[in-house]
């Protein structure tokens, strides 16, 4: 797989923009702009951040608390600063209980270290969310190597869950599944389904 083609394809997926903040071993504040952030679990409350193995932040996060600062739409300068293009404006640092945070964000999640996993040329840092701060500020978006702002809603319908979720989807929690009916690709059919 050609890395440039793959990178361009990944760029078709619009993401939010975060700055992951932590403390260095000597106690200084450190941050890195990251779009590879994923909410993972509600119970326990877990999030995942992917950082390139070569980054300073990857060295600082192993076993350390960190904060995920979801940048607001007017924080492009903050995103650029932590992406390696610092500006002259002062940074909105805040002292957090477990890790330093940034002010003016759309949301902030402060996390305890949970686990670090192999992610190829990246390391995957799983954090357990200890506290959150949310605001009504619109988030900054990233798509096709450029920053964007969120537009108007495309629908007034609220998404309430996945059809694959046993609590809200196609099947309820009591549905049992039969073994595959034929050889070939593996799939399961609920016992109470009729054709």
Strand-pair category, 37-41 with 101-102: unpaired
pLDDT at residue number 143: 72
Full strand arrangement of the beta sheet holding 18-23: 29-34, 18-23, 66-70, 107-119, 122-134, 46-52, 37-41
Pick the closest to residue 109 from 119, 95, 99 (CA basis). Answer: 99
E strand segments, the chain: 15-16, 18-23, 29-34, 37-41, 46-52, 66-70, 93-94, 101-102, 107-119, 122-134, 140-143, 146-149, 177-178, 189-190
pLDDT at residue number 12: 60
Token pair of 15, please?
């993401």
Pick the closest to residue 68 from 95, 48, 52, 42 (CA basis). Answer: 48
Q: Are 94 and 44 in contact (CB under 8 A)?
A: no
pLDDT at residue number 179: 59
> Which domains are assigned to the chain?
3-149 (2.30.110.10)
Full strand arrangement of the beta sheet holding 15-16: 15-16, 140-143, 146-149
Per-residue pLDDT of the chain (195 residues; tens, 9 = 90+): 777 776 677 656 567 899 999 999 999 999 999 988 989 999 999 999 999 999 989 999 989 999 999 999 999 999 999 998 988 889 999 998 899 999 999 999 999 999 999 888 889 999 999 999 999 999 999 777 667 787 776 666 655 666 666 666 555 666 666 655 555 544 444 444 343
């Amino acid at each position: 797989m050609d890395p440039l083609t793959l990178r361009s394809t990944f760029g078709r997926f619009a993401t939010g923009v975060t700055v992951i903040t932590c403390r260095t071993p000597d106690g200084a504040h450190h941050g890195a702009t990251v779009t590879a952030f994923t909410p993972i679990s509600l119970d326990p409350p877990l999030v995942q951040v992917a950082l390139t193995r070569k980054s300073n932040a990857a060295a600082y996060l192993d076993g350390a608390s960190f904060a995920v600062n979801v940048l607001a739409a007017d924080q492009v300068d903050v995103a650029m600063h932590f992406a390696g293009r610092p500006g002259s404006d002062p940074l909105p640092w805040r002292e957090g209980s477990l890790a330093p945070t940034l002010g003016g964000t759309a949301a902030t999640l402060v996390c305890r270290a949970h686990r670090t996993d192999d992610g190829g040329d990246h390391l995957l840092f799983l954090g357990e969310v200890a506290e959150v701060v949310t605001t009504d500020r619109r988030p900054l978006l990233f798509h096709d190597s450029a920053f964007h702002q969120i537009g108007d809603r495309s629908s007034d319908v609220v998404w309430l869950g996945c059809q694959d979720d046993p609590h809200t989807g196609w099947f309820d929690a009591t549905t049992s599944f039969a073994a595959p009916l034929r050889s070939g690709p593996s799939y399961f059919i609920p016992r109470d389904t009729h054709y």
